[in-house]
């Protein structure tokens, strides 16, 4: 079965002229990374689930960096920019948002950031702990499914609120929902009322019911329409 992440990433990379640089955070077995068609690729994961030494020999145009994302971003030289960054690391909003903010430093005006596991499939899948999410679903509903997205959905309203020069949309068809983020050439209005009257931010209030009430703010779109929007916006 075709990897939907690979399909989307390669389609976006086709919009760039010349050589392309790709960064993937959270690589695991490399099921996405190895099939991405970029000229230069960088894989970051604290524990690769493949022989990275053999991979280095077989893929000389790729980097395999077995460290945490925090370590990678803190030691990387800022002068090298990536055209597309795929964030699929730890599924918690705080780590993913930190990865996102760091990734912005390593991108240029036309760069694209793709965020995985943005739409939780049920109240159990947005549990920050994967094992607990699966066990609670089975215990409470009898469903033996292993879907887990964590609370990464919380970073989209953060991007909306604190990064007004960025735009985004969310693919909701033909595979797992993913949010695409890019630098906008036009001003946009905030899609979420995230801050309290006093200007405080209450992350804990962004529970699953909040998500269900605010899905339209994620700008959900069919895959083809979303990819077309992003590509046309970066021309």
Spatial separation of the C-alpha atoms in residues 58 and 41, rounded to whole Å:
13
What local confidence, expressed as pLDDT, does residue 186 receive? 80
Q: What is the pLDDT of residues 165-215, one digit of tens each?
A: 999 999 999 989 999 999 988 878 889 988 876 678 889 899 999 999 999
What whole-number percentage of the chain has pLDDT above 90? 87
Q: Which ranges constitute the DSSP H helices of the chain?
A: 4-13, 52-58, 69-75, 93-104, 130-141, 155-162, 208-213, 223-233
User: If 0-12 CB within 10 Å is exposed, 13-18 middle and 19+ buried, where does residue 51 land?
Assistant: exposed
Q: What is the pLDDT of residues 58-114, one digit of tens each?
A: 999 999 999 999 999 999 988 889 999 999 999 999 999 999 999 999 999 999 999
What local confidence, expressed as pLDDT, does residue 50 receive? 94
Is residue 130 scored above 80 in pLDDT? yes
Q: What is the pLDDT of residues 222-233, one digit of tens each?
A: 999 999 999 999
What local confidence, expressed as pLDDT, does residue 197 receive? 66
Q: What does residue 140 show for φ and ψ, rounded to 5 degrees? A: -85, -30
Residue 169, both tokens? 């949309």
Spatial separation of the C-alpha atoms in residues 223 and 215, rounded to whole Å:
16
4-116+152-189+218-233 maps to CATH 3.40.50.150: yes
Q: What does residue 178 show for φ and ψ, rounded to 5 degrees? A: -140, 145
Q: What DSSP character marks residue 183?
A: E
Compute the Cα dihedral for 162, 166, 171, 176 and give only its sign. negative
Q: What is the pLDDT of residues 1-54, one digit of tens each?
A: 679 999 999 999 999 989 999 999 999 999 999 999 999 999 999 999 999 999
């Amino acid at each position: 079965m075709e990897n939907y992440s690979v399909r989307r990433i390669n389609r976006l990379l086709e919009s760039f002229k010349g050589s392309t640089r790709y960064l993937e955070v959270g690589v695991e077995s490399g099921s996405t990374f190895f099939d991405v068609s970029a000229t230069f690729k960088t894989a970051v994961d604290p524990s690769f689930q493949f022989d990275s030494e053999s991979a280095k020999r077989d893929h000389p145009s790729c980097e395999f960096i077995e460290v945490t994302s925090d370590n990678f971003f803190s030691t990387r030289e800022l002068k090298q920019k990536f055209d597309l960054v795929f964030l699929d690391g730890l599924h918690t909003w705080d780590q993913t948002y930190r990865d996102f903010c760091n990734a912005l430093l390593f991108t240029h005006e036309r760069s694209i950031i793709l965020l995985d596991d943005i739409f939780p499939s049920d109240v159990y899948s947005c549990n920050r702990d994967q094992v607990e999410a699966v066990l609670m679903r089975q215990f409470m509903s009898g469903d033996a499914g292993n879907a887990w997205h964590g609370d990464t959905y919380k970073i989209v309203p953060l991007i909306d609120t604190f990064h007004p020069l960025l735009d985004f949309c969310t693919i909701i068809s033909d595979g797992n929902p993913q949010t695409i983020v890019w630098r906008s050439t036009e001003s946009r209005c905030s899609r979420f009322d995230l801050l309290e009257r006093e200007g405080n931010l209450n992350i804990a209030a962004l529970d699953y019911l909040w998500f269900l009430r605010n899905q339209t703010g994620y700008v959900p779109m069919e895959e083809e329409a979303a990819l077309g929007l992003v590509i046309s916006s970066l021309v």
